[in-house]
Amino acid sequence: MPPGKPRPGSLLRSVRTVFLKDWRSELRTRYAVSALLMFVITTIAIILFSLGSESASADALSGMLWVVIFFASMSGLSRTFVMEEERGTTLTLQLAAPPAAVFFGKLLFNLVLVTGINAVTVLLYALFINGFVIRTMSIFVVTVVLGSIALAAASTVIAAIIARANTKGTLYPVLSFPIMLPLLLSVIEATRKASEGAFFAEAGGEFQLLISYIVVVVVSSSMLFEYIWKD
Amino acid sequence: MSDAVRCTGRDIRKEFDRRSVFRGVSFAVERGETLLVTGRNGSGKSTLVKIICGVLSPTAGGVTLEVNGATSPDARLHAGLVAPYLQMFEEFSPLENLQIASGLRGMPFDRSRAAGLLERVGLAARLHDPVRTFSSGMKQRVKYAFALLHEPRLLVLDEPTANLDDEGIAVARGIMAEQRRRGALVVATNDPGDVETFERSVDLNAAG
């Protein structure tokens, strides 16, 4: 087959290359991981000092956990596209890779990043925050997994949009909040149920909403991405 | 490679925020030919170059790229670009950059071809050093290797000798001559010394 023609499986190879490029770049620079970890540690420390020896309600602790995760994601996940824009490599990617490969490669990278950071956040939160107890672990694990996927999916496409704007830093959380509100309400409610010891089936509604959210965001983002990416 | 290639631009107009950059730009260039794009600073040479490469949409009109008589749905597949505003992935070595370029295009990585290209542009001794440690001229050489890796039918050069020393300019001229034999060449420049011969030209000063 002559060079320049798309080959079977070439999209998968392109997706893998985008992911590995970002992964290796992160291993060398540790830019996003450092920003995320510092944010998580600082925020948990502030919550710890604010609470002192007091114990907050399950509602409040569930909400605070996802506030930490939401803002940590805001501080780190936008880097995937903003970094390309700042380094001037957006054009390089546009020239060489199909838009779908860039979207799914970046989505995969954000997913790995947010899953890792969420695991660390949950661990630190459980260790240091007084009164945060998970009684139904199955609900909590499914919530964190689905919440991480949904966060990665939404933040990837929002990052692609704001990377082209002049006010990148402030626009990201502002634009993310209304888009992520259904996701945040669901994960906070499911986490509350996990800490109150509800049966797994009782969180079924939240899980259905999260799965629907992921499907809608991934499908619509992959369809819109070419228009966001090209101009 | 002996494929026929023809790149045609028809009545292209580009506006940014309702400000017209150029209008009514038409051209055609085919295998064995060079299209020279000239114009003063701000006349839209780089904008036209990006439109030809398929990474920027025109406000009106369009560019078609035909390979062996069939219109390519995606110019990106067949075009290679070298430009001062094109950046390499600087935390990676030139060889890694070519590996990335190959993977992004969905092609298997041919290490010996990549090393050969880097040797041709004079970077054989720096294959494994991060690009961020390179001078601007060396980065320009990496861009040539990056653009040539997939054997583009259409090579688009914006300021082709920018940052290059005499040896680098000689390499760039050799690449331009070879591209004319195997495909089409587009050169956007204000330096008449950049292009020895050209068959077609577009003057963007007249299209503002």
Cα A162 to the center of its chain, rounded Å = 15
Grade residue B196 by pLDDT with cuts at 50, 70 and 90.
confident
What pLDDT shows up at residue B208?
A: 67
**A26 found inside a domain:** yes
What pLDDT shows up at residue B140?
A: 96
Distance CA B47, CA B16 (A): 10
Residue of B nearest to A26 (CA): B91
Minimal CA separation from A77 to chain B, in Å? 19
**A1 found inside a domain:** no
Grade residue A3 by pLDDT with cuts at 50, 70 and 90.
very low
**Domain residues for A224?**
10-229
Structure tokens at B165: 């020393």
In this predicted structure, which of B21-25, B68-72, B154-158 has the lowest mean pLDDT?
A: B68-72
**A5 found inside a domain:** no
Rounded to an integer, the average pLDDT of A155-165 is: 86
Grade residue B2 by pLDDT with cuts at 50, 70 and 90.
low
Is the minimum CB–CB distance between A5 and chain B shorter than 8 Å?
A: yes
Whether A95 has a pLDDT exceeding 50, the answer reads yes
Which residues does chain B have within 8 Å of residue A94's beta carbon, measured at their own beta carbons? 55, 76
What pLDDT shows up at residue A164?
A: 77
Which residues does chain A have within 8 Å of residue B86's beta carbon, measured at their own beta carbons? 88, 91-92, 95
Residues A230, B56: C-beta atoms closer than 8 Å: yes
Minimal CA separation from A69 to chain B, in Å? 29
Residue of B nearest to A28 (CA): B91
In this predicted structure, which of A104-118, A169-183, B135-149, B158-172 has the lowest mean pLDDT?
A: A169-183
For the residues of chain A, what is the DSSP string, one character each?
Answer: --TTS--TTHHHHHHHHHHHHHHHHHHHH-HHHHHHHHHHHHHHHHHHHHHTT----HHHHHHHHHHHHHHHHHHHTTHHHHHHHHHT-HHHHHHHS-HHHHHHHHHHHHHHHHHHHHHHHHHHHHHHSTT---S-HHHHHHHHHHHHHHHHHHHHHHHHHHTTSS-HHHHHHHHHHHHHHHHHHHHHHHHHHHHHT--GGGGHHHHHHHHHHHHHHHHHHHHHHHHHHH-
Whether A171 has a pLDDT exceeding 80, the answer reads no
What pLDDT shows up at residue A1?
A: 42
Minimal CA separation from B108 to chain A, in Å? 8
Residues A6, B77: C-beta atoms closer than 8 Å: yes
Is the minimum CB–CB distance between A8 and chain B shorter than 8 Å?
A: no
A164, A91 contact by CB (below 8 A): no
Is the minimum CB–CB distance between A9 and chain B shorter than 8 Å?
A: yes
Distance CA A110, CA A124 (A): 21
Residues A4, B104: C-beta atoms closer than 8 Å: no
**A80 found inside a domain:** yes
Structure tokens at B81: 């670009």
Provide the percentage of residues in chain B whose pLDDT is more than 90. 78
Whether B68 has a pLDDT exceeding 60, the answer reads yes
Rounded to an integer, the average pLDDT of B31-45 is: 93
A15, A105 contact by CB (below 8 A): yes
Rounded to an integer, the average pLDDT of B199-205 is: 90
Interface size, chain A vs chain B, as Cβ–Cβ contacts under 8 Å: 92
Structure tokens at B43: 């006349």
Which residues does chain B have within 8 Å of residue A28's beta carbon, measured at their own beta carbons? 91
The model's pLDDT over B100-135, given as tens digits with 9 standing for 90+, comes to: 999 999 999 999 999 999 999 999 999 999 999 999
Strands of B5-16's sheet, edge to edge? B19-30, B5-16, B60-67, B70-71
Structure tokens at A116: 């890792």
Output the average pLDDT for chain A: 88
CA angle at A106 for the pair A169 and B136, rounded to the nearest 5°: 75
What pLDDT shows up at residue B174?
A: 95
Cα atoms found within 13 Å of the Cα of residue A87, Cβ hemisphere only: 18
**A153 found inside a domain:** yes
Rounded to an integer, the average pLDDT of B77-91 is: 94
The terminus-to-terminus CA distance of chain A in angstroms comes to 31
What pLDDT shows up at residue B154?
A: 95
What pLDDT shows up at residue A169?
A: 64
Q: Which of A10, A29, A92 to mutate to test the interface with B (most CBs of B within 10 A)?
A: A92
What pLDDT shows up at residue A7?
A: 59
Q: Which residue has the tokens 């195997």?
A: B182
In angstroms and rounded to an integer, the radius of gyration of the C-alpha atoms of chain A is: 19
**A189 found inside a domain:** yes
Residues A10, B89: C-beta atoms closer than 8 Å: no
Total domains present in chain A = 1
Rounded to an integer, the average pLDDT of B9-32 is: 92
Residues A4, B81: C-beta atoms closer than 8 Å: no
Provide the percentage of residues in chain A whose pLDDT is more than 70. 94
Rounded to an integer, the average pLDDT of A158-162 is: 87
Minimal CA separation from A149 to chain B, in Å? 24
ipTM, two decimals, is 0.91
The model's pLDDT over A6-27, given as tens digits with 9 standing for 90+, comes to: 555 789 999 999 999 999 999 9
Which residues does chain A have within 8 Å of residue B57's beta carbon, measured at their own beta carbons? 230-231
Which residues does chain B have within 8 Å of residue A25's beta carbon, measured at their own beta carbons? 89, 91-92
Nearest to A96 among B3, B104, B108 (CB): B104
**A4 found inside a domain:** no
Residues A14, B106: C-beta atoms closer than 8 Å: yes
Is the minimum CB–CB distance between A6 and chain B shorter than 8 Å?
A: yes
Residues A92, B55: C-beta atoms closer than 8 Å: no
**A97 found inside a domain:** yes
The model's pLDDT over B52-63, given as tens digits with 9 standing for 90+, comes to: 999 999 999 999
Residues B107, A88: C-beta atoms closer than 8 Å: no
Residue of B nearest to A102 (CA): B104
Whether A2 has a pLDDT exceeding 80, the answer reads no
Provide the percentage of residues in chain B whose pLDDT is more than 70. 99
